[in-house]
Structure formats: C-alpha cells, structure tokens
Amino acid sequence: MSEDTKSTKDRILDAALSIFSNKGYYDTRLDEIADESQSSKGSIYFHFPNKERLFISLVDQFADVIERNVTEAIEEHPAGMQRVQVAIEAVLDTFGKYRRPAKILLVQAVGLGNVFEKKRMEVTDRFAGLIQTYLQEAIETGDIAQVDTEVVAHAWMGAIYNVVIQWVHTGEPEPERIMDALVPLLLKSVDYEMASVQADEASA
Amino acid sequence: MSEDTKSTKDRILDAALSIFSNKGYYDTRLDEIADESQSSKGSIYFHFPNKERLFISLVDQFADVIERNVTEAIEEHPAGMQRVQVAIEAVLDTFGKYRRPAKILLVQAVGLGNVFEKKRMEVTDRFAGLIQTYLQEAIETGDIAQVDTEVVAHAWMGAIYNVVIQWVHTGEPEPERIMDALVPLLLKSVDYEMASVQADEASA
DNA sequence: TGATTTAAACTGACCAGTCAGTCTATTGAT
DNA sequence: ATCAATAGACTGACTGGTCAGTTTAAATCA
C-alpha cells in the first residue's frame, strides 16, 4: 500500500503525525496538514470533527499499539518478575520502532492545557496501572519484597519516558543502549537481579 | 511585603505564575494576567518584551532556585554517594515546597513548540549534567560500580519528574511518601544501600 | 441520480502586541 | 518654597494578522 493508494483519512493521519510531531500542536496549521496529505481542509473536517480530536486520535492510536504489544508479549510468560521485565522491554521496543508517535505521546501532548491534560492522565494511569498490577503479582509470587507499587510504577514510567524523550530529541542514547542500561537499572531498583530472558523479539 | 506593596513587576510575575500554572501557556491570556496583577497590558509589555519571555523568565527563575538549593545542600557533604543522595533530597524538597513553579517547569513548559523545547533542553541538560557529575564522583570514590551515567541521570530525572508531576496533578503521593519511597529506589538502582543521612533540613 | 467525498474560497472571532497619552516622582533652577 | 522640566512607570483602546472552522460547488463513486 503506497502513499497514493492509501485512503484519504490515512493520508491525513500520516501527515498529521508527521507535522504535529515536528512542530507541536499549536504551531501546526491545518492548512499544512491538508497540503502534505494531498487533500484539503474540507476533507479533514469530513473525517475529523476538529483539530483537537485529530490530534487526540493520534495519541489514542499509539497508546493502543503500546498496550497491545505489552499484553501480547506478556501472555506467554508466567506471572512474576519475568512479566515485569518483558513488559518493560516491550514498551521500549515499541517506542524504538515508532519514534514520531512516541514524540507525540511523550512530548507534544504535554502542556497543552486542561483538555489534553485529562487525556494524558487517562493514558498515563492506564500504563501505570498495568505496571502496578504486574508488580503486585511479582510481590505475591515472592519474586520481590514489598514496595510502594504506586510510586514505583510512576517512577519507572518517568524513567522510561525521559530516556526515550532524550533519544527522540537527540537520537542518543540509541534504543539498544537504552535497553541494556535501563532494564537492569529498573529491576535492580526493586532488588531484583535479572536473568536475561531469551531474545524473542530480536530474532523476529 | 504584602501583595499591594510589591512592585508591579513582581505582581505580574506572581499572577503569571498562578495563571500559567493553572491553564498552561496557550490558554493564558495576557489580559487576564493584567487583571489579576492589578496592572495593565501596557505594564506587562513595559517589563517584558513579549508573552514568551515572560513565561520563560518563570522557568529560569525556578531552575535557578533548584540549582541553588542543590549546590548549597551538597557543599557540606563529602564527594561520593552521600552527595548524590543529598542532591536528590534537595530537589524533591524544593519541588515539594514550590508546587506551582514545579508544574510550570515540568508540565506547562513541555510541548510548546521548538523555541520552548530548546529552553527545556537547556534546563534538563543542566540538571542531568549535575547528576552525572556526582555519579561519576561516586564511581571514582568506589561507592558504586561502573554504570552508564548518562542513561542513569536521565532515568533518575524522569523518575523524579514523573512522580512529582503525579503529585502536582492529584496531590498524591505526598512529598513525604515520595521521599521515603523514591530515594531508596533510586539509590538501589545503582546497587547502593543507603544509610540514612541525618535530617538537616527537617530541623531548620 | 443521488450520496459521499474532496477542493477551495471564504468568514469572523480572537488576542498578542502597539502607541498616544496620563500620572507620579525627582531634579534643578529661581 | 514654588514652579518648570524631564524621565520613568503605567494605562487601555485599538489594530491587524492569523487560522480554526464553514460553506458551496464540483468531482467521484455506486
């Protein structure tokens, strides 16, 4: 499916992704999206009710991708710390593969005022909730000692986000280096010495 | 110094802080700042060249406060991991004391487009650089083993930022709980078992 | 043909930034 | 002491560009 056989809606989404991720929400003009998508303003407003929703649909779309990748990666592993590790790796892997959506979610969707802030909280809570659940499981299976799972979850998310943001901005450190340094760091922070999980994704 | 004996410029800064932190940059109207500061639009433009610079001066102001607090807290401690610990505590302490400036720096200054992004990078790099330096010292003194200080620095900053952001948004977890859970977490992540540093600030 | 989709011109609310003018305080001259 | 001159701080009505969103008409499809 090349660029010109795609549906107009998809072309609009692609263009929006590209421009929003570069310029941020407020510096992006709908006319520019119309241009870049080889369509028109009317088209945009046919497919989306307004600028806000167009942007938010990009956020949602990517949040879904991440969540799907995590739950898929997890299901073939037993409950406990191994799941936590696999989940982190799946998130990092997804960010690594989709740099522009990552920038939208982690950078451009922040600080846009309260409407967007609410949406961001929603996504954030969704992920933090996931991490908390898996951590709780790991505590119950005895893999790690009792910890404040709420703080740990948010701290981990922040750590992951920030390292990825740095990469999104500068191209450094590369995903591989992030994976090598960050995963052990996070696991150690709850006193878990990791045993390397066989490289599933890497061979795919 | 009560509200009405303050200089106009200070009243403008106060109002700007309050409104920017609540509504974000783009949803803030200069007319509203003029209102709230009991001054006028002309006055704002007398003291600041434009909206952007007014906002940025708030960011700078707070970044300076943090850096000062950190360097002050540190100087009475010996190089090594104890400094790292004290630095983290000083940052958390400062965020805890200034919730609104914290929100400006951590939330409202993100995603505003490239001008602001540059400024944010500058501040971020400044702090990450500090942390990296202290970590490097701790490695040299043998307090901790070799680690990827760049990744660790950014991961820590992200962890701190994100937990604080959560608190800024929801009021939970409270600073004390953050301090209790987060500091050991971060130190453990580089394999350092902390010995509680005597409570300097607490008694002040 | 008629329903959907797209193009392009158009509208008008909005708001950052301007500026002519006022107000207040300080200085210096008589 | 009184007045005039100057400067710095401040006011708020006004403007002009911008751009999200609308409208209308044409094209494409079923």
HEC letters along chain B: CCCCCCCHHHHHHHHHHHHHHHHCCCCCCHHHHHHHCCCCHHHHHHHCCCHHHHHHHHHHHHHHHHHHHHHHHHHCCCCCHHHHHHHHHHHHHHHHHCHHHHHHHHHHCCCCCHHHHHHHHHHHHHHHHHHHHHHHHHHHCCCCCCCCHHHHHHHHHHHHHHHHHHHHHHCCCCHHHHHHHHHHHHHHHCCCCCCCCCCCHHHC
| Average pLDDT, integer, range A10-16 | 95
Examine the pLDDT at A98 and tell me if it is beyond 70: yes
In 3-state terms, what secondary structure has residue A25?
coil
Half-sphere exposure of A115 (CA within 13 A, CB side): 9
Q: Give B105 CA → C29 C1' in Å.
A: 54
DSSP letter for each residue of A37-65:
TTS-HHHHHHH-SSHHHHHHHHHHHHHHH
Which positions on chain C have an atom < 7 Å from some protein CB? 5-10, 15-21
3-state secondary structure A90-152: HHHHHHHHCHHHHHHHHHHCCCCCHHHHHHHHHHHHHHHHHHHHHHHHHHHCCCCCCCCHHHH
**Cα–Cα distance, A186 to A167 (Å, whole number):** 18
**With an 8 Å Cβ cutoff, are A173 and B150 in contact?**
yes
Compute the distance between CA of residue B113 and CA of residue B78 in angstroms, rounded to an integer: 41
Asked if A185 lies within 8 A of B188 by C-beta distance, the reply is: no
Which of A's residues 127-156 have CB atoms within 7 A of nucleic strand C? none
As a rounded value in angstroms, the CA-to-C1' distance for A113 and D3 is: 56
Q: What local confidence, expressed as pLDDT, does residue A117 receive?
A: 87
Q: Supply the pLDDT for residue A4.
A: 57
Nearest CA in chain B to A113: B24
pTM of the model: 0.90
Give B9: exposed, middle or buried? Use CB within 10 Å, 0-12, 13-18, 19+: middle
The answer to whether B142 CB sits below 7 Å from nucleic acid chain C is no
Alpha-carbon torsion (A133, A139, A142, A144), positive or negative:
positive
Confidence of residue A6 (pLDDT cuts 50, 70, 90): confident
Q: What is the mean predicted confidence (pLDDT) over B19-40?
A: 94
Output the pLDDT for position B1: 52
**Residue where the block lists tokens 């401690």:** B77
Q: Region B102-106: what's the mean pLDDT?
A: 94
**Residue A157 token pair:** 């998310």
Split at pLDDT 50, 70, 90, the class of A196 is: low
Q: How confident is the model at residue B2, as a pLDDT?
A: 57
Per-residue pLDDT reduced to its tens digit, B50-78:
999 999 999 999 999 999 999 999 999 99
Does the pLDDT value for residue B161 go beyond 60?
yes
Confidence class of residue A199 from pLDDT cuts 50, 70 and 90?
Answer: very low
Is the CB of B162 less than 8 angstroms away from the CB of A166?
A: no
Task: Give me the pLDDT at residue A114, please.
Answer: 83
Residue A100: predicted pLDDT: 96
Kindly report the average pLDDT of chain B as a whole number: 91
Rounded to an integer, what distance in angstroms lies between the CA atom of residue B53 and that of residue A116?
A: 24
pLDDT interval class at B111 (50, 70, 90): confident
Residues of chain A contacting residue B20, judged by C-beta atoms under 8 Å apart:
none
pLDDT at A7: 86
pLDDT band of residue B114 (cuts 50, 70, 90) is confident
Q: What is the mean pLDDT of residues B169-173?
A: 93
Cβ-based neighbour number of residue A172 at 10 Å: 11
Alpha-carbon distance of A151 to B162, in angstroms, equals: 10
Residue A8 parent element (H or E): helix A8-23
Please provide the average confidence, as pLDDT, over all residues in chain A.
Answer: 91
pLDDT in tens, A122-166: 998 999 999 999 999 999 999 999 999 999 999 999 999 999 999
Reported confidence tier of residue A66, pLDDT bands at 50, 70, 90 = very high
Give, in Å, how far the C1' of C20 lies from the CA of B42.
Answer: 12
As given in the structure block, the two tokens for residue B123 are 């501040």
**What number of C-beta contacts closer than 8 Å exist between A and B?**
134
Which pLDDT band holds residue B198 (cuts at 50, 70, 90)?
very low
